[in-house]
C-alpha cells in the first residue's frame, strides 16, 4: 500500500526539520500543556469540564440516563409523585429503568465512547434496549399481576423513555462540544510515528478541538523531514525508548500509534506498557483505507483474523437506492412545485436571462452530464475557448493547493435573489430533475467540472475513487461542512468513507443531517 497517496500537497510547512530530535529532558518546543492529574483537572479546570470529559463523563452519562428513565416512568404513571403511590399493576414499571441501564451496560454503552459520536449513531441500540426492557416489564407484569400493564401506560413509557434518553444524550453531546470549543486545550496526546499518517492525525486533532485531544508531539526513531509529510508543527520529542520519561513529564492521557517506524513486536510491547499505566491507546490500522464497518472479527486458534466485506456500487442494494431516489425525486418535485414555481418567477423578474443554469459535470464512471441549478448570477460573456490550467491558477485558487473549487469565482455577479438562493441552498432544487433522469442520486459525492476532475485526478490521492457511485445533491462531506473553499483532501476522504460504509441507514442519517445543516446555515 502506498502510504504517500493518503495526503495531497502540503497544507502548511513548518520551518522546523524533524531530523533534529528534541532533547527529552526538557521537551524543547512542546506545547505548554498543564501537567494535571484527573483529580487536579476537576479542581483546577472546573467541575463542568471535568464532568464533560474523561472520568467525569463516565459518571455523568449513566446518571443522566437514570434520571431520564425515572422521569419517563413518572410521566407514564401520571406525574412525578405518582411512582411512590402507584398501584401494584402500575408499580411494576419501576423495574424499567434498571432493566434498560443493565442492557446498556451489557452492550458496552458505558465502557467507552467514540471520539465524536452523533445522537443518530446511538439511536438504534437505544431503541432496541428500550424495546427489550419494555417487553420484559410486560412479562414481569403478567407473572406478578396476571395481566399486562394498561396499554396506555406501556406505550407512553416506551415513547417517553426514547424521548427522554434522546434529549439527555443530545444535551450531553452539545455540552461536550461547546466546552471543547470554548476550551480548545483537550487531553494531552502523544503520537507514535511522525510520518505522513502521524502528521495527518496531528493536524486533524489540532483543527478539530471537538475530538477532545491536544497532540503535544511525536515519538519516532527515524522521522522524515516535515516538508515530506505535508507539514509538521509539533516537535519530535524522542524515540520510543523515551516513552516512560515523556509520559511522566507530560502527563499524557492518550497515545496514538500511527505507522511508527519501529517493529510491530516493539510497538506491541509499548502498547502493553501504556495499558499498565492506565493510559488509553488508539491505533491507526494498516490498510485503513480498505476497512469499513463490515469488518468481521474471527480467529484461527489464538490468531486474530479480520475478514473484509466491501460495498458493490453495481449490486442489488444500490439498485434499490436508485429506485428510491427516483420515487423520492418525483414526490419532492410534486410537493415542492409551488415553491419551485415561485423561485423560478423570482429569478426571471430579478435579472434577465434563463431561469435554469446548466453546467457540465462528471458523474459515475466518468460519465459527463448537464447539472441543473437555479441561475443565481447575471449572465457572463460567453467563453470562446475552454479554461486552461493558467485560468485555474489564481491567487485565490492556486493549482495544487488543498482547497476545493466552489463558491464565487472571479467577478461577483450574484443577484439579490441569487444570494438568498445560495445561502439557503434552494438553488440546488432543480437537481431533482437530474435525479429523476438517473444522472445523480439524492446522496453521494458532489459532482465536479471536467477540467477540475482531470486536474485533481492527477494530484489528489484516490480522487477518482469517488466516481464509483452516482453523484449526489448532498453527501457525507457536505453535512460535515466541507463545502465551497474547504480542504479537498478531507472532502475526498469523507466521500470515499461514505462509499466504503454505505448503507440505507447512512443515507437516512445524511438526509437528517442535511436538514440540520441547512437550518444552521440559513440563520
What are 220-270's pLDDT values in tens digits? 888 888 877 877 888 988 888 888 888 888 888 899 998 766 677 788 888
CB of 392 closer than 8 Å to CB of 475: no
List, in order, residues 6 or more apart from 129 with CB less than 8 Å away.
Answer: 100, 103, 104, 107
| 159-192 per-position pLDDT tens digit | 999 999 988 888 887 777 777 666 656 788 999 9
Average pLDDT of the residues of the chain? 78
Lowest mean pLDDT of 71-85, 180-194, 421-435, name the range. 71-85
For residues 409, 412, 417 and 418, what is the CA-based torsion angle, rounded to 10 degrees?
Answer: -10
Does pLDDT of 135 surpass 70? Answer: yes
CB of 2 closer than 8 Å to CB of 15: no
Percent residues over pLDDT 90 in the chain: 22
pTM across the whole model: 0.69
Does pLDDT of 14 surpass 80? Answer: no
CB of 507 closer than 8 Å to CB of 442: yes
CATH 3.40.50.720 fits 3-25+185-286, yes or no: yes
Question: Using CA atoms, how far apart are residues 195 and 493, in angstroms rounded to an integer?
Answer: 18
Does pLDDT of 456 surpass 80? Answer: yes
CB of 92 closer than 8 Å to CB of 68: no
Q: Chain centroid to CA 483: how far?
A: 14
Return the C-alpha cell found at 365: 464512471
Does pLDDT of 501 surpass 70? Answer: yes
Return the C-alpha cell found at 244: 516512560
Q: Is 143 exposed, middle or buried (0-12, 13-18, 19+ CB in 10 A)?
A: exposed
pLDDT for position 60: 79
Percent residues over pLDDT 70 in the chain: 75
Give the residue-averaged pLDDT of 76-102.
Answer: 68
| 373-392 per-position pLDDT tens digit | 999 888 766 554 545 544 44
| Residue 66 DSSP SS3 | helix
Does pLDDT of 72 surpass 70? Answer: yes
Return the C-alpha cell found at 30: 512542546
pLDDT for position 83: 43
Question: Using CA atoms, how far apart are residues 75 and 86, in angstroms rounded to an integer?
Answer: 12
Q: Chain centroid to CA 348: how far?
A: 39
Lowest mean pLDDT of 23-37, 162-176, 309-323, name the range. 23-37
* Location of each CATH 3.40.50.720 domain in the chain: 3-25+185-286
Lowest mean pLDDT of 68-77, 404-413, 426-435, name the range. 404-413
CB of 160 closer than 8 Å to CB of 76: yes
Lowest mean pLDDT of 16-20, 297-301, 403-407, 503-507, name the range. 16-20
Question: Using CA atoms, how far apart are residues 189 and 254, in angstroms rounded to an integer?
Answer: 5
List, in order, residues 6 or more apart from 89 with CB less than 8 Å away.
Answer: 141, 145, 147, 149, 150
Give the residue-averaged pLDDT of 90-98.
Answer: 80
What counts of helices (H) and strands (E) characterise the chain? Answer: 19, 11
CB of 33 closer than 8 Å to CB of 240: no
Amino acid at each position: 500500500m502506498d502510504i504517500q497517496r493518503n495526503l495531497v500537497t502540503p497544507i502548511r510547512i513548518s520551518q522546523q526539520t524533524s531530523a533534529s530530535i528534541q532533547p527529552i529532558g526538557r521537551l524543547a518546543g512542546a506545547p505548554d500543556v498543564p501537567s494535571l492529574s484527573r483529580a487536579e483537572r476537576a479542581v483546577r479546570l472546573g467541575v463542568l469540564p471535568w464532568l464533560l470529559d474523561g472520568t467525569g463523563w463516565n459518571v455523568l452519562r449513566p446518571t443522566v440516563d437514570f434520571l431520564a428513565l425515572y422521569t419517563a416512568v413518572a410521566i407514564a404513571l401520571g406525574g412525578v409523585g405518582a411512582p411512590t403511590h402507584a398501584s401494584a399493576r402500575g408499580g411494576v414499571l419501576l423495574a424499567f429503568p434498571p432493566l434498560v441501564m443493565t442492557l446498556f451496560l451489557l452492550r458496552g454503552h458505558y465502557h467507552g465512547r467514540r471520539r465524536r459520536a452523533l445522537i443518530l449513531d446511538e439511536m438504534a441500540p437505544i431503541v432496541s434496549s428500550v424495546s427489550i426492557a419494555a417487553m420484559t416489564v410486560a412479562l414481569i407484569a403478567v407473572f406478578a399481576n396476571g395481566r399486562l400493564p394498561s396499554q396506555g401506560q406501556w406505550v407512553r413509557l416506551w415513547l417517553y423513555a426514547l424521548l427522554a434518553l434522546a434529549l439527555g444524550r443530545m444535551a450531553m453531546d452539545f455540552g461536550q462540544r461547546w466546552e471543547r470549543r470554548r476550551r480548545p486545550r483537550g487531553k494531552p496526546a502523544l503520537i507514535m510515528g511522525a510520518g505522513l499518517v502521524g502528521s495527518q492525525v496531528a493536524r486533524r486533532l489540532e483543527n478539530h478541538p471537538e475530538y477532545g485531544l491536544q497532540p503535544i508531539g511525536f515519538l519516532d526513531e527515524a522521522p522524515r523531514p516535515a516538508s515530506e509529510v505535508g507539514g509538521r508543527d509539533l516537535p519530535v520529542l524522542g524515540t520510543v525508548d523515551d516513552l516512560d520519561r515523556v509520559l511522566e513529564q507530560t502527563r499524557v492521557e492518550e497515545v496514538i500509534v500511527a505507522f511508527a517506524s519501529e517493529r510491530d513486536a516493539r510497538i506491541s510491547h509499548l502498547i502493553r506498557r501504556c495499558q499498565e499505566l492506565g493510559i488509553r491507546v488508539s491505533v491507526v490500522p494498516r490498510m485503513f483505507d480498505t476497512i469499513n464497518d463490515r469488518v468481521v472479527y474471527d480467529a484461527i486458534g489464538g490468531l486474530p483474523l479480520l475478514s473484509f466485506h466491501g460495498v458493490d456500487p453495481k449490486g442489488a442494494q444500490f439498485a434499490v437506492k436508485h429506485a428510491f431516489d427516483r420515487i423520492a425525486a418525483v414526490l419532492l418535485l410534486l410537493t415542492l412545485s409551488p415553491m419551485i414555481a415561485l423561485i423560478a418567477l423570482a429569478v426571471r423578474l430579478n435579472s434577465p436571462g434563463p431561469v435554469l443554469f446548466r453546467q457540465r459535470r462528471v458523474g459515475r464512471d466518468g460519465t459527463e452530464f448537464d447539472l441543473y441549478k437555479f441561475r443565481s448570477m447575471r449572465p457572463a460573456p460567453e467563453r470562446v475557448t475552454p479554461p486552461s490550467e493558467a485560468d485555474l491558477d489564481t491567487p485565490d485558487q492556486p493549482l495544487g493547493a488543498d482547497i476545493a473549487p466552489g463558491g464565487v469565482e472571479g467577478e461577483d455577479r450574484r443577484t439579490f435573489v441569487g444570494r438568498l438562493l445560495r445561502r439557503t441552498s434552494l438553488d440546488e432544487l432543480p437537481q431533482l430533475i437530474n435525479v429523476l433522469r438517473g444522472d445523480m442520486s439524492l446522496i453521494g459525492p458532489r459532482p465536479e467540472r471536467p477540467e477540475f476532475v482531470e486536474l485533481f485526478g492527477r494530484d489528489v490521492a484516490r480522487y477518482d475513487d469517488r466516481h464509483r457511485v452516482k453523484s449526489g445533491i448532498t453527501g457525507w462531506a457536505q453535512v460535515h461542512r466541507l463545502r465551497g473553499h474547504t480542504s479537498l483532501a478531507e472532502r475526498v476522504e469523507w466521500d470515499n468513507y461514505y462509499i466504503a460504509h454505505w448503507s440505507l441507514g447512512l443515507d437516512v442519517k445524511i438526509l437528517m443531517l442535511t436538514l440540520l445543516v441547512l437550518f444552521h446555515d440559513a440563520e
